[in-house]
Amino acid sequence: MKNMERAYNIAKDAYAKIGVDTELAMKKLSKIPVSLHCWQGDDVGGFENPDAGLDGGIMATGNYPGKARNPEQLRMDLDKALSLIPGKHRLNLHAIYGEFKGKKVDRDEIAPEHFSNWIAWAKSKKMGLDFNPTFFSHPNAASGFTLSSSNEKIRKFWVRHCKASRKIAEVMGKKLGSTVVTNIWIPDGYKDIPVDRKKPRETLKKSLDEIFEQKINPKYNLDAVECKLFGIGSESCVVGSHEFYMGYAVANKKLLCLDAGHFHPTEVISDKISSALTFLDEILLHVSRPVRWDSDHVVILNDELNAIAQEIIRGNYLDRVHIGLDFFDASINRIAAWVIGTRCMIKALLMALLEPISALKKIEQSGDFTSRLAILEELKTMPFGAIWDYYCMKSSVPVGMSWLNDVKKYEDDVLSKR
Ligand code: RNT
Ligand code: ZN
């Protein structure tokens, strides 16, 4: 404790010398919510049918023991993860995580009552919720097409599902006094080269228009649309592409969801944030980590994560960017996955908050790119770790790697007995 404070004070002075107020940075950081995705806790399984497999071109590989099998377990695991993460955050739920009490409730029949336990849980923790209709792992998605389906019955089913989801989100927003972001991601696409790319895209537009005919107060719910380049089994054409949803979001004042794993391998979402926000009021991020064909590895503190955080902070976009996480790894302890990914996101935000931004901008505007490069590199070895440790301590969560002991103990006491 003493050493940590000493280290903090030395670091604080070092940052003060370059014009950075570490206290202010930590204060700002404590107000940035990250939306934790519930689906890391059970490999995107949900509670409709515990034996149903995951489809839709996404995949959780691995079979690490102890995954949550019911809502109580998932909430317990989330409680554990949240106790190891500094700050106040949100929970992002998928529609398949409703509590149906063994009853068959089809996706177009889901209602707020199926989420009342989640709402009560969030309320007790003063947390906000976010929401997602689930367009995969369902017989009506088996053809690979949902909102862009040429089968009118199927298409209408998914339109109803999405409308029901937005109604649930509205109630969540009202009850929790915190705006819900409802994100639409559909898996629709072709494995092989299609003849007609136009028809499914026109159909998708029509479905979205029908969904949004149902007006919901933006105080309670905001809608986002998530684009993707390809999925497993939709390698040749994804209906909801970047251009499609960028266009749709701009034309209809929706949020665009940028998932870090949904673009060409050398394309990065950090470079898209300021472009998208030139034309859109708000965006949603799915912070993830693409590796080869997989778009959903656990987030780590890499260059792109830093760049994402820098773009948000340098652009002063905090009230226009909703930060959500999206990864699922079933090969490691699932609670650790949440903790690692979320702590990394917060670390990246803190690093970005510790930059001498206005000085750097001035240097850049003056054309002194030599100083820009030199300073950006020197910043990398500033004593960031001391600020991070102090922030964790002040937030009453474990400092450094000590959180791992908590997770291991929880694994022994709880997970290994499931
Ligand atoms: C899939 C999308 C989508 C999902 C979640 C489960 O590629 O990223 O966001 O990961 O909805
Ligand atoms: Zn995503």
Question: pLDDT tens for residues 127-181?
Answer: 999 999 999 999 999 999 999 999 999 999 999 999 999 999 999 999 999 999 9
Q: Is 82 in the pocket of ligand 1 (CB under 6 A)?
A: no
The CA distance from 189 to 238, in Å, is: 4
Domain with 102 in it: what CATH number? 3.20.20.150
For a substitution probing ligand 1, which of 135, 183, 226 has the most ligand atoms within 8 Å of its CB?
226
Closest ligand 1 atom to Cα of 328: 10
- The pLDDT tens digits for 296-353 are 999 999 999 999 999 999 999 999 999 999 999 999 999 999 999 999 999 999 999 9
What count of other Cβ atoms lies within 10 Å of the Cβ of residue 150?
A: 12
User: Which residue segment(s) compose the domain that 268 sits in?
Assistant: 33-355
The average pLDDT across 29-41 equals 98
Domain count, the chain: 1
Which residue minimizes the CA distance to atom 2 of ligand 1? 185
Torsion-angle region of 101 (φ positive above 0: left; ψ -120 to 50: alpha; else: beta): left
Question: What's the confidence (pLDDT) of residue 117?
Answer: 98
Ligand 2 mean position, distance from CA 210 (Å): 23
Q: Ligand 1 center to residue 326 CA distance, Å?
A: 7
Q: Are 326 and 37 in contact (CB under 8 A)?
A: yes
Asked if the structure places residue 63 within a domain, the reply is yes
Is 210 contained in some domain? yes
Q: Give the per-residue pLDDT at 406.
A: 98
Best probe residue, ligand 1, of 94, 286, 329 (max atoms within 8 Å of C-beta): 286
pLDDT tens digits along 263-301: 999 999 999 999 999 999 999 999 999 999 999 999 999
Q: Is the CB of 58 under 6 A from ligand 1?
A: yes
This model's pTM is above 0.85: yes
Percent of the chain exceeding pLDDT 90 equals 97
pLDDT of residue 53 exceeding 90, the answer is no
What CA–CA distance (Å, rounded) separates 361 from 358?
A: 5
Distant-in-sequence, close-in-space partners of 247: CB < 8 Å, separation ≥ 6: none
Distance CA 60, CA 45 (A): 10
Kindly give the distance from the C-alpha atom of residue 146 to the centroid of ligand 1, in angstroms, as a whole number: 15
Residue 182 beta carbon below 6 angstroms from any ligand 1 atom: no
| Whether residue 145 has its Cβ less than 6 Å from ligand 1 | no
Q: Which atom of ligand 1 is nearest to the CA of 44?
A: 6
Q: Please, which pLDDT band fits residue 417 given cuts at 50, 70 and 90?
A: very high
User: Does 138 participate in catalysis according to the annotation?
Assistant: no
Cα 97 from Cα 46, distance rounded (Å): 5
Task: Report if residue 206 sits inside a domain.
Answer: yes
**What integer is the mean pLDDT of 198-220?**
98
User: Is 253 part of any domain?
Assistant: yes
Q: Is residue 57 part of a domain?
A: yes
Q: Average per-residue pLDDT in the chain? A: 97
Q: Is 77 a catalytic residue?
A: no
**78-137 pLDDT tens trace:** 999 999 999 999 999 999 999 998 899 999 999 999 999 999 999 999 999 999 999 999
pLDDT at 238 (0 to 100): 98
The verdict on whether 106 is a catalytic residue reads: no
Strand partners, 184: 225
Q: Whose CA is nearest to atom 10 of ligand 1?
A: 326
Q: Which ligand is nearest to the CA of 327?
A: 1
At residue 217 the predicted structure's pLDDT band, cuts being 50, 70 and 90, is very high
Evaluate whether 19 touches 359 at the Cβ level (below 8 Å). Answer: yes
44 lines ligand 1 (CB under 6 A): yes
The pLDDT score that the predictor gives to residue 51 is 73
Q: DSSP letters along 133-153, please?
A: ---SSSGGGTTS-STT-S-HH
Phi, psi at 267, each rounded to 5°: -90, 140
- From the CA of 229, the nearest ligand is 1
Is there a domain that residue 418 lies in? no
C-alpha of residue 393 to centroid of ligand 2, in Å: 32
Q: Is 188 in the pocket of ligand 1 (CB under 6 A)?
A: no
Q: What's the mean pLDDT in 209-227?
A: 98
HSE at residue 200, side-chain half, CA atoms within 13 A, is 20
Q: Which residues surround ligand 2, an ion (CB under 5 A)?
A: 259, 286, 326
Is 242 a known active-site residue?
A: no
pLDDT value of residue 244: 98
Whether 157 maps to a domain, the answer reads: yes
Give me the pLDDT at residue 52, please. 78
Question: Distance (Å, rounded) from C-alpha 314 to C-alpha 221?
Answer: 27
364 is catalytic: no
**185 within ligand 1 shell (Cβ under 6 A):** yes
- 13 within domain boundaries: no
pLDDT digits (tens, 9 = 90+) for 344-390: 999 999 999 999 999 999 999 999 999 999 999 999 999 999 999 99
Has 259 been annotated as catalytic? yes
Examine the residue annotation and report whether 286 is marked as an active-site residue of this protein: yes
Note if 223 is an active site residue.
Answer: no
Is 368 an active-site residue?
A: no
Residue 50 has pLDDT above 80, yes or no: no
pLDDT > 90? residue 261: yes
- On the question of pLDDT at 1 being above 80, the answer is no
Residue tagged active-site, from 21, 106, 235, 294: 294
**314 and 355 Cβ atoms separated by less than 8 Å:** yes
